[in-house]
Structure 1
Amino acid sequence: MRGPTKTLVVAAVLIVGVVFGLNGCDSREPAGMAAKPVRIAFVPKVAGIPYFEAMNTGGQAAAKQLGVEWTSVGPVTVDPAAQASIVRGLVDQRVDVIAIAPNDPKAMAPVITDARAKGVHVITSDTDAPNSDRELFVNQATPDGIGRALTDALMLKMGGAGKYAIVSCGETAENLNAWIAVQRSYTATRYPRAQLVETVYAGEDKDTAAALAKDLMVKHPDLTGLVGECTTSAPGVAEAVRTQQKIGRVFTVGVGTPQAIKPYLLDGSASLSVLWNVESLGYLTAWAGKQIADGKPLDRTNKVNLELPAIKFDPTTKTVLLGDPLLITRENVDQFKY
């Protein structure tokens, strides 16, 4: 897919300057004046999709409660170069903390190194850049937890046998690729009569995901399962099953936001969504950013708020974990408003 134009990228970076009102100035206050609040900038994989908007909502809620400033600025498509340009702009604006969901961990690593060298704290959230100088990863759930939950949900509908395919999003996304690796190995060991026949990539575009899912059903006429590996491809594969009139013959599961996947849960074109509380992930990201900026060490178990009373921290991998994945069904989907 084509990335955003140079104008769009520059505009996004300029917006950051307006939001924070920094104009490149030093963040330190003269003696005797109150310190400015910690400024946290979240850079999602892509701007404007419901998933990252929900994370932004959670971050904004945390900002009000914690007394920090929070903003979200992302590229208009899943473009690693555009995302890196936004991060560089934020470094130039002297924000305190940048929280990134990297599209390409390898491409982002030198950008993170540069940010740290210039005194800007960097954490990752939603997806990691493990071989970088990031200081912390805010993880929504373990790869094993997500990969096994997706596989078990699909196999329940497929009777533990048959062929299925995956429609993923960014080809270099660390989190998605980790989940897919679990699905592949778990299928082979737990469900030997099932086979993952192909994985394709749709970027972060529902229509592209639907088109690829249709192609997969043509290419593999005996296909009985599809996985939408991200929040745009989950409704995309279900839409393809719906329009091809294969409800009840081809089953779909995915990582879909509740209200986006709800119509498909209701008509049976999607069987289940495996997710987590996305707003809580945004809240936890803001909280973690403030801890890093304030120089506060994390405990192995941390009370963030009443809803997040026991957040685990692994000092070896420098990872905080939101918790176990949620199973979203037609019965509980309306508990979530995003």
Structure 2
Amino acid sequence: MSKLSITAYTFGILFFLVSVSFAIFYGYQVVTHHLPIEEKKAATYHYHFVLVPEELDNEYWRLVEKGAKAAAKEYGVMLEYVGPKQANIEDHLKTIEMSAASKVDGIMTQGLSDEQFTPLINRVVEKGIPVITVDTDASNSKRMAYIGTDNYYSGYLAGKALIADTKGQANVAIITGSFYKNHQIKRVQGFQDAVKTEKGIHIIDIQESEISRVQAAEKAFQIVQEHPEVNAFYGTSALDAIGIAQVVEKYKKQNQFYIIGFDTLPETLKYLIKQQRMC
């Protein structure tokens, strides 16, 4: 065998060995770096649910989200919290429609308007996706269940509490989150029915806050300016009593006004504790 042949033969062996070495090396890289190892497997879920709040950054709905996510974690459920940034029925409805289109396993939402929410909930349920209403019911729909308060009766109890605390003598202004949403309407109706036979209770004005603390404060200030005879406020959404209290605290002596509202937000509780200390 010539030296040239031996050299070519040797080069061929070296080339083969180098090729095999690179193949083993890159094969190892693929196995160890591109395939998921046992510890890095994605979490698996039994169900995929969606919670659609009235508005994402509302303090009340953040509490609801916290509770829902705690339960979801316990039961191996993937929970998404999605909805309008600010209260908007059209955006709310679109979020429910998009959730149904993505074929989630269940939807939790409010039934804010019978006219708009009931037919949509029915269509979603007919697709095989169960719906539970939260905080506000759509009792005429095919929803599976309702989790929340009896909003009419809650308003009624608020009216009875005001009668007892003011000894049946009060000029009341109502600030409601919305003139058009079921739960807000029922909270006003219940209150009105509770006080209507009381000769010393007079409802002076009703204003809308659009589920906004700022709007609630603005409307409370407007009422104080236009109706100096008002000495009691009733707020029907979670943020109304806070907005009212801020105005009363700033422009009037607190003990001159009676305020009754909804939900146990930390700031609401802070005002209640402060009032108790003043009494």
Pick the TM interval, shorter chain.
0.7 to 0.9
Q: Which residue of 2 aligns with 1:92?
A: 101
Give the structure with the higher percent helix: 2
For the pair 1:231 / 2:257, whether they are aligned, the reply is no
- Could you tell me the TM-score, scaled by structure 2's length? 0.77
Change in CA separation of 1:160 and 1:195 when aligned onto 2, cut-off 3 Å: same
Q: CA deviation at 1:141?
A: 4.3
Change in CA separation of 1:109 and 1:180 when aligned onto 2, cut-off 3 Å: same
The alignment covers a number of residue pairs equal to 235
CA distance in 1, matches of 2:150, 2:121: 23
Letter in 2 for 1:219: E
Q: Which residue of 2 aligns with 1:105?
A: 114
Q: Which residue of 2 aligns with 1:32?
A: none
CA distance in 1, matches of 2:240, 2:113: 18
Q: Which residue of 2 aligns with 1:173?
A: 181
The answer to whether the Cα contact below 8 Å between 2:49 and 2:78 also exists between their aligned partners in 1 is yes
Alignment of 1:282-321 (within 5 A): none
Instruction: Flag the structure with more relative contact order, 1 or 2, with Cα contacts below 8 A and sequence separation at least 6.
Output: 1
Letter in 1 for 2:92: Q
Alignment of 1:1-338 (within 5 A): 37-141=46-150, 143-144=152-153, 146-189=154-197, 191-268=198-275
Q: CA deviation at 1:55?
A: 0.7
Letter in 1 for 2:144: E
CA distance in 1, matches of 2:63, 2:247: 25
The answer to whether the Cα contact below 8 Å between 2:234 and 2:259 also exists between their aligned partners in 1 is yes
The answer to whether the Cα contact below 8 Å between 2:159 and 2:191 also exists between their aligned partners in 1 is yes
Structure 2, unpaired ranges of 5+: 1-43
Rg comparison, structure with higher value: 2
RMSD after superposition: 2.1
- Could you tell me the TM-score, scaled by structure 1's length? 0.65
* Residues 32-91 of structure 1 deviation map (CA, whole Å, 9 limit, x = unaligned): xxx951222111111111111111111111112223222211211111000011111101
The answer to whether the Cα contact below 8 Å between 2:110 and 2:133 also exists between their aligned partners in 1 is yes
The answer to whether the Cα contact below 8 Å between 2:156 and 2:193 also exists between their aligned partners in 1 is no
* Residues 123-182 of structure 1 deviation map (CA, whole Å, 9 limit, x = unaligned): 2110012232322211234632x2233223333442311210111102222122112111
Deviating runs (4+, > 4 A) in structure 1?
Answer: none
